[in-house]
Amino acid sequence: MADEFVAHPLITITNVIWSFSRTTHQLQILLIHRADEPFAGYWALPETTLRVKESADAAAIRLIRDKIGIHVNRGSTEQLATFTDPARTPGERALALTYMTYLPTMPKLRPGYGATDARWFAFNAVAGDEQLQNGRLTFHMKPEAADLAFDHARILSVAIGRIRNKLDYQPTILQVLGPTFTLKEAREVYAPFLHTTAAAIDNSNFKKTHQRLFIEVGVAHDRSRSGRPPKLFKLA
């Protein structure tokens, strides 16, 4: 068979790593500043090359350890999709097996190999325009956007759509809040996917429509707050 009909692509593991800022009450996504070509000097999702004797799931876990220096279990990571467009990378063809990971804390970041910087970017929706923002840096999540390396804007768009479609029956994104959370925190997580604000989501209706998904487990103990303490919930 002629070589032009035989594909030997690289297989990369790309991870959309989510967390939540208790300070700004915003969802966060981790981006790294690439040191190497292709796309040296661009911001991108963390990725690594799949090793010969390694499963994709194991590589996704290793990527988190190598890039940000923390260990997570496989229950915090789920497969997203496989991206195979021949034009997604310049030069040698590379397929991307993509994952999403939910971190309940925002660890201090240190750039790993192949990166000169690593930062958390807040995910928000401004007038229907989904964005990632860190200070003056803003990236738009439209698939045709060329601000991020490779096809990572498209990968993020698919990730956001996947989470949005599961909010009412399997909201795994709430793992970023840790084992327990308040309804206000849950609304803060939901809000950007729904292109609204947490305040605009009625708390009573939210509790009623999601009661099969949340289990009440007690109340928050925060002595700095006056009034009745908010109730705590966990995922069912």
Looking at residue 1, what is its pLDDT?
46
Higher pLDDT, 54 or 75: 54
Binning pLDDT at 50, 70 and 90, where does residue 110 land? confident
Answer whether residue 85 shows pLDDT above 80: yes
Taking residues 95-100, what's their average pLDDT?
94
Answer whether residue 114 shows pLDDT above 90: no
63: region left, alpha or beta (phi > 0 left; psi from -120 to 50 alpha): alpha
Taking residues 3-32, what's their average pLDDT?
87
Strand duo 47-49 + 77-83: pairing: unpaired
Binning pLDDT at 50, 70 and 90, where does residue 144 land? low
Taking residues 75-97, what's their average pLDDT?
88
Looking at residue 182, what is its pLDDT?
95
Q: How many CB atoms lie within 10 A of CB 206?
A: 17
Higher pLDDT, 91 or 7: 91
Q: Which amino acid would we find at residue 224?
A: S
Q: What is the pLDDT of residues 150-206, one digit of tens each?
A: 999 999 999 999 999 999 999 999 999 999 999 999 999 999 999 999 999 999 999
Binning pLDDT at 50, 70 and 90, where does residue 226 land? low
Looking at residue 227, what is its pLDDT?
66
Looking at residue 64, what is its pLDDT?
85
Distance from C-alpha of 97 to C-alpha of 52, rounded to nearest angstrom: 15
- The strand pairing partners of 231, in sequence order, are 219
Those residues whose C-beta lies under 8 Å from the C-beta of residue 97, and which sit 6 or more positions away, are: 11, 12, 13, 14, 50, 56, 79, 82
Residue 46 phi/psi, 5-degree rounding, is: -65, 140
Taking residues 20-30, what's their average pLDDT?
96
Percent of the chain with pLDDT over 90: 62
Contact (Cβ atoms closer than 8 angstroms) between residue 55 and residue 99: no
Distance from C-alpha of 178 to C-alpha of 56, rounded to nearest angstrom: 25
Answer whether residue 4 shows pLDDT above 80: no
Looking at residue 143, what is its pLDDT?
63
- Summary mean pLDDT of the chain: 88
